[in-house]
Amino acid sequence: MKSILIIGMGRFGHHLAQNLLELGNDVMIIDSEESRLEDMVPYATSAKIGDCTNPEVLKSLGVRNFDLIFVCIGTNFQSSLEITSLVKEMGGRHVVSKATRDIQAKFLLRNGADEVIYPEKDIAEKCAERYSMDNVFDYIELDDDYAVYEIPPMREWIGKAIRESDIARRHSVMVLGVRDESGEKRIMPSADYVVKAEEHLMVLGERKTVSRLLRQIGEGK
pLDDT tens, N- to C-terminus, the chain (221 residues)? 899 999 999 989 999 999 999 999 999 999 999 999 999 999 999 999 999 999 999 999 999 999 999 999 877 899 999 999 999 999 999 999 999 888 999 999 999 999 999 887 777 777 776 666 677 888 787 877 888 999 999 999 999 999 999 999 999 999 999 999 888 899 999 999 999 999 999 999 998 899 899 888 887 65
Q: How remote is the C-alpha of 70 from its chain's centroid?
A: 14
CA atoms within 13 A on the CB side of 212: 9
pLDDT at 34: 92
Helix, strand, coil percentages, rounded to 5, for the chain: 40, 25, 35
Domains of the chain, with CATH numbers?
Answer: 3-117 (3.40.50.720), 122-219 (3.30.70.1450)
Burial of 135 (0-12, 13-18, 19+ CB in 10 A): middle
pLDDT at 221: 57
Question: Radius of gyration over alpha carbons of the chain, in Å?
Answer: 22
pTM equals 0.67
List own/partner pairs for 134-143 with CB under 8 A and 24 or more apart.
Answer: 134/214, 134/218, 135/214, 135/217, 135/218, 136/214, 137/200, 138/202, 142/204
pLDDT at 130: 65
pLDDT at 137: 85
Q: Which 8-state DSSP code applies to residue 161?
A: B
